[in-house]
């Protein structure tokens, strides 16, 4: 019987070595140590042994069971380790491999410029407000001192929705809405989309962007207007930029002016950028017309104010010598990536 057990041990150990996975190990355990396993079967024959043999063989058999159990466990641990090593090898990352580049988008040049302008005004204590793009004729024209037959209406080819409702042609109606809602002091800018029924070409688009500005308080003068706009322009075009106020006419401001900066490309000599003029016009402005103040319920005897309006596309075109407005809306990455 001892020999039987000895040969069982040899076979079991051999098979154990040849087993490469956990399922195989479990199979072996059942085959030798299970209820109907070979070792169990041999032990069942113990009854036929003599009194003296039984304890000796019994001890031997128990030792063999313990040995096989240990060997099964050791082999299981070995297999587990090998599996882990293999998995780690498969998951190994080569940190010296070149990375995959992701194409990153970035801000549109109009947004970049607008953000810069907003920051300058927020620094001067201005609020940023917005108004509707579908607007009443009243706010877009009437309240701004542009009555029905006024020639200024002809220069702003308007998309009418009904006789009273239109797509705003300028951001100036936000001045009126702000003054109706808010008592002075008022300090705000209002950027946004405006619409004019123009055919598309290099300098015209039915949709473009303006930035409106409005300050109303007691004792506001043209000097405040100049100081504010000069601050803006120095931030935008550099400390040494030269500014010029040129008399002009707008129905909603009196007096009114257009503001030019000396061409930052030729410094006034005249070049392609400024079309030989030496100066570049960048915005319209003026002191808020007393009629506009009283239209909004603000007493022009007590308060005064200034306003200004500028076209965002034009500012950016001038800054970067862009000669075609359509580039802003085509979203060609070869153009956009340059900013
Ligand atoms: N709204 C004018 C336009 O679209 C621009 C403008 C000029 C706005 C003078 C103003 C201003 O507030 O004071 O042409």
Does one domain contain both 260 and 233? yes
Does one domain contain both 155 and 277? yes
The more confidently predicted of residues 83 and 192 is 192
Say if 262 falls within a structural domain.
yes
Does one domain contain both 263 and 327? yes
C-alpha of residue 153 to centroid of ligand 1, in Å: 13
Atom of ligand 1 nearest to the CA of 210: 4
CA distances 312 to 119, 140, 171, 239, 284, Å, are: 15, 19, 12, 21, 13
Q: Which of 126, 169, 250 to mutate to test the pocket of ligand 1 (most atoms within 8 A of CB)?
A: 250
The more confidently predicted of residues 32 and 255 is 255
**Paired tokens of 128:** 């940023």
C-alpha of residue 194 to centroid of ligand 1, in Å: 12
Does one domain contain both 155 and 65? no
Q: Which of 139, 172, 177, 304 to mutate to test the pocket of ligand 1 (most atoms within 8 A of CB)?
A: 172
DSSP assigned state of 206: S
C-alpha of residue 70 to centroid of ligand 1, in Å: 93
Q: Report residue 180: phi and psi, to 5°.
A: -65, -35
In contact, 298 and 175? CB cutoff 8 Å: no
Cβ neighbours of 20 (radius 10 Å): 11
Does one domain contain both 83 and 121? no
pLDDT at residue 55, as a whole number: 83
Nearest protein CA to atom 6 of ligand 1, as residue: 309
Does one domain contain both 122 and 26? no
In contact, 92 and 84? CB cutoff 8 Å: no
pLDDT at residue 248, as a whole number: 97
Ligand 1 binding site (Cβ under 6 Å of any ligand atom): 170, 172, 212, 250, 253, 284-286, 307-309
C-alpha of residue 149 to centroid of ligand 1, in Å: 19
Give the 3-state secondary structure of residue 236: helix
Say if 198 falls within a structural domain.
yes
Given phi > 0 = left and psi -120 to 50 = alpha, else beta, which region is 125? left
d(CA 118, CA 267): 27
pLDDT at residue 36, as a whole number: 85
C-alpha of residue 288 to centroid of ligand 1, in Å: 11
C-alpha of residue 309 to centroid of ligand 1, in Å: 4
CATH number of residue 192's parent domain: 3.30.930.10
The answer, yes or no, to whether residue 321 has pLDDT greater than 90, is: no
Does one domain contain both 169 and 263? yes
Mean pLDDT, range 256-276, rounded to an integer:
87
Does one domain contain both 159 and 294? yes
Cβ neighbours of 43 (radius 10 Å): 18
pLDDT at residue 302, as a whole number: 97
Chain segment 269-303, per-residue pLDDT in tens: 988 778 889 998 899 999 999 999 999 999 999 99
Say if 67 falls within a structural domain.
yes
d(CA 313, CA 209): 7
Say if 192 falls within a structural domain.
yes
Does one domain contain both 9 and 155? no
Say if 297 falls within a structural domain.
yes
Atom of ligand 1 nearest to the CA of 212: 12
Rounded to 10 degrees, the C-alpha dihedral 195/199/204/208 comes to 20
End-to-end Cα, the chain, rounded Å = 91
Atom of ligand 1 nearest to the CA of 286: 13
Atom of ligand 1 nearest to the CA of 175: 12
Nearest protein CA to atom 4 of ligand 1, as residue: 170
Atom of ligand 1 nearest to the CA of 171: 1
C-alpha of residue 272 to centroid of ligand 1, in Å: 26
Q: Which residues constitute the domain of residue 44?
A: 2-90
Mean pLDDT, range 21-34, rounded to an integer:
84
pLDDT at residue 206, as a whole number: 96
DSSP assigned state of 84: H
C-alpha of residue 142 to centroid of ligand 1, in Å: 14
pLDDT at residue 72, as a whole number: 85
d(CA 156, CA 167): 11
Does one domain contain both 191 and 332? yes
Does one domain contain both 256 and 318? yes
Nearest protein CA to atom 2 of ligand 1, as residue: 309
Say if 51 falls within a structural domain.
yes
The C-alpha angle 208, 320, 193, rounded to 5 degrees, equals 15
* pTM: predicted TM-score of the whole model, two decimal places: 0.71
Q: Total structural domains in the chain?
A: 2
In contact, 243 and 212? CB cutoff 8 Å: no
Say if 204 falls within a structural domain.
yes
Angle between helix axes 53-90 and 2-18 (nearest 10 degrees) is 0
Tell me the average pLDDT of the chain.
90
Q: What is the DSSP string of 157-202?
A: ---BSSSSEEE-SSSTHHHHHHHHH-PSPEEEEEEEEEE-----BT
Say if 323 falls within a structural domain.
yes
pLDDT interval class at 45 (50, 70, 90):
confident
pLDDT interval class at 50 (50, 70, 90):
confident
The more confidently predicted of residues 178 and 147 is 178
Does one domain contain both 19 and 117? no
List of residues 6+ apart from 287 with CB closer than 8 A: 220, 221, 222, 225, 253, 254, 255, 304, 305, 306, 307
């Amino acid at each position: 019987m001892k020999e039987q057990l000895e040969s069982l041990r040899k076979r079991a150990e051999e098979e154990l070595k040849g087993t490469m996975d956990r399922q195989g190990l479990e199979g072996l355990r059942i085959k030798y140590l299970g209820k109907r396993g070979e070792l169990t079967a041999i032990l069942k024959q113990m009854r036929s042994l003599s009194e003296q043999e039984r304890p000796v063989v019994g001890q031997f058999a128990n030792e063999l069971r313990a040995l096989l159990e240990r060997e099964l466990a050791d082999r299981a641990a070995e297999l587990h380790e090998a599996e882990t090593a293999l998995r780690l090898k498969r998951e190994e990352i080569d940190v010296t491999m070149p990375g995959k580049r992701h194409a990153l988008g970035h801000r549109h040049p109009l947004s970049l410029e607008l953000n810069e302008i907003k920051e300058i005004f927020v620094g001067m204590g201005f609020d940023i407000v917005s108004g509707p793009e579908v607007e009443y004729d009243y706010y877009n024209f009437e309240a701004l001192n542009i009555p029905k037959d006024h020639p200024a209406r002809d220069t702003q080819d308007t998309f009418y929705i009904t006789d009273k409702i239109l797509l705003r042609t300028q951001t100036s109606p936000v001045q009126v809405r702000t003054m109706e809602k808010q008592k002075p002091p008022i300090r705000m800018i209002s950027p946004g989309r405006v619409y004019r029924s123009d055919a598309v070409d290099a300098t015209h688009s039915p949709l473009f962007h303006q930035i409106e500005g409005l300050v109303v308080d007691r004792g506001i003068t043209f000097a405040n207007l100049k100081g504010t706009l000069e601050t803006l322009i120095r931030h935008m075009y550099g400390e040494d930029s030269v500014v010029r106020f040129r008399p002009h006419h707008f129905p909603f401001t009196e007096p009114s002016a257009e503001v030019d900066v000396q061409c930052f490309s030729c410094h006034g000599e005249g070049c392609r950028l400024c079309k030989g003029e030496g100066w570049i016009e960048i915005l319209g402005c003026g002191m808020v017309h007393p009629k506009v103040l009283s239209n909004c319920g603000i007493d022009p005897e007590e308060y005064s104010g200034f306003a200004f309006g500028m076209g965002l596309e034009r500012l950016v075109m001038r800054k970067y010598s862009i000669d075609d407005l359509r580039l802003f809306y085509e979203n060609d990455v070869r153009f956009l990536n340059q900013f």
